[in-house]
Structure 1
Amino acid sequence: MSKETILVVDDEKEIRNLIGIYLENEGYKVIKASDGCEALKVLKSQQVHLIILDIMMPNMDGIEACIKIREHKNMPIIMLSAKGEDMDKIMGLTTGADDYITKPFNPLELLARVKSQLRRYTKLNNAMQNINSDIIEIDDLTINVSTHEVKVGEKLINLTRREFDILELLAKNRGIVFSTEKIYERVWNEEFYQSDNTVMVHIRKIREKIEENSRKPKYIKTVWGVGYKIEN
């Protein structure tokens, strides 16, 4: 079963629910939003692999939302519109959409386009990862393994060697929880002593440097009683 997350953005609840049923039956995780503003909020907090985006919506329409999304994200975007004129299609595609479908649509056709775009996106991402295997990107955090450079947005972060090694270890193994013992043994290549709080001190220092609020970390999460991880 598929595990990709798809964001469905449409001001009509019935349309959102209809699309959601077909996608969920195929194993996709579905997140729903009623306009462009709500969609942008979702993208700040959750990983999304494809967006189905209606053009005609209140507050922020699909064209404006697409432009804003493309400033930071490169996942496939399929535009929906009740209009079938060529200019609407051209506008949607020139603002960064990957595909376009006109309402009313056949849900099975939309599903086929979703699968096609995800296959192409996955293939492209795999190729880019092979080219840029030394670059790790997690939201605004960029880690260059070959140059040992770390950036949050455009800000260059100065980490010590040990701090960098810990961050690299967690970033390369996203979703995996590492105990302080495992981190110490992997980074220092020495046997861990139970009373040693070296790892905790280094984690705190890393957070102070890369997090906006080190007490509510965005990147390095604490799994209480277990250890630390960077989420997917």
Structure 2
Amino acid sequence: MEKTNNDGYLETKGNLLLVEDDPGIGRIVRDHLRRENYAVSWATTGLECWEDFCSGEYDLVLVDLMLPEMDGFTLCKNIRLKSEVPLLIMSARSEDESKVRAFGLGADDYITKPFSLTELSLRVDVHLRKFRKYQKGAEEKSHILTYYGGLTIDPVLKQAMYENEPIALTSKEWLLLMLLASHPGRQFSKSELYEHVWQQEAIDGGNTVTVHIKGLRMKLKDNIRNPKYIQTVWGSGYRFIGEPQ
């Protein structure tokens, strides 16, 4: 991983994460964005990018699709489940199928190689302006609790309550609840839940997820036969069905 320190600049325009396995392209993009006064971290594999994203704070991620260790599609899906940060795809794949798939997994933009560095900078600027407006609105509402039936979730204090009584959740139960509740109606497989909550490959994590979902349901007083919050999608996984008040 290479990190630029932007020596000589009083303040950078943003902190970017770039993943590009071609050293020539990666160096050109990194150096250009540095000249545009961005701080840039450069990863050369999908897995390296994912690990760096999980351990750092970034304003935008630039993703190549054809990557070793973890392809760009999987990387987009993982990042989008964790964050609303803008995702800009840079790829030589110009077919509509790749674009549709990337946007479906949460990408915000798609630029085809070869591209103009000036155009790339403009797209980065536009997406950062939009993201910062979104962040400002989210911060203004951060004090507002979210309610689902008798369930109250406070993401700032990391506290859940049922009928105004605090619920003693384990760290994994809290992460499961937040992942499901922040994507209402979306179906998650057990493998997806395990990979995002336990941060490990789901080789045999299905039973672990089942046990933790069972415990979470008990604490939420959620009847599996007539659920208010967590619905089992038989043979597939789970989805959050709580109705906001």
Shorter-chain TM-score above 0.5: yes
Separation (CA, whole Å) in 1 of partners of 2:20 and 2:118: 18
| 1:63 equivalent in structure 2 | 73
| 2:31 equivalent in structure 1 | 21
Match of 1:111 among 110, 115, 121: 121
| 1:45 equivalent in structure 2 | 55
CA RMSD of aligned residues (A): 2.6
The alpha-carbon deviation at position 133 of structure 1 amounts to 3.2
The alpha-carbon deviation at position 3 of structure 1 amounts to 4.1
Q: Secondary structure at the match of 1:74?
A: coil
- Letter of the 2:142 partner, please give it: N
Bigger radius of gyration: 1
Separation (CA, whole Å) in 1 of partners of 2:118 and 2:173: 42
Asked if residue 94 in structure 1 is aligned to residue 104 in structure 2, the reply is yes
Match of 1:129 among 139, 147, 152: 139
The alpha-carbon deviation at position 96 of structure 1 amounts to 0.6
| 1:181 equivalent in structure 2 | none
- Letter of the 1:114 partner, please give it: V
| 2:85 equivalent in structure 1 | 75
Q: What do the CA deviations read for 1:3-45 (whole angstroms, capped 9, x no partner)?
A: 4210000111111111111111121110011121001110121
Q: Percent identity?
A: 32
Report 1:1-232 matches (<5 A): 1-133=11-143, 142-143=156-157, 152=171, 154-155=173-174
Contact map agreement 1:22 1:107 (CA 8 A) in 2: yes
TM-score, with length taken from structure 1: 0.59
Contact map agreement 2:142 2:156 (CA 8 A) in 1: no
Gaps of 5+ in 1: 136-140, 157-232
Q: Secondary structure at the match of 2:51?
A: helix
Contact map agreement 1:134 1:144 (CA 8 A) in 2: no
The alpha-carbon deviation at position 129 of structure 1 amounts to 1.2
Q: Secondary structure at the match of 2:82?
A: coil
How many residue pairs were aligned? 151
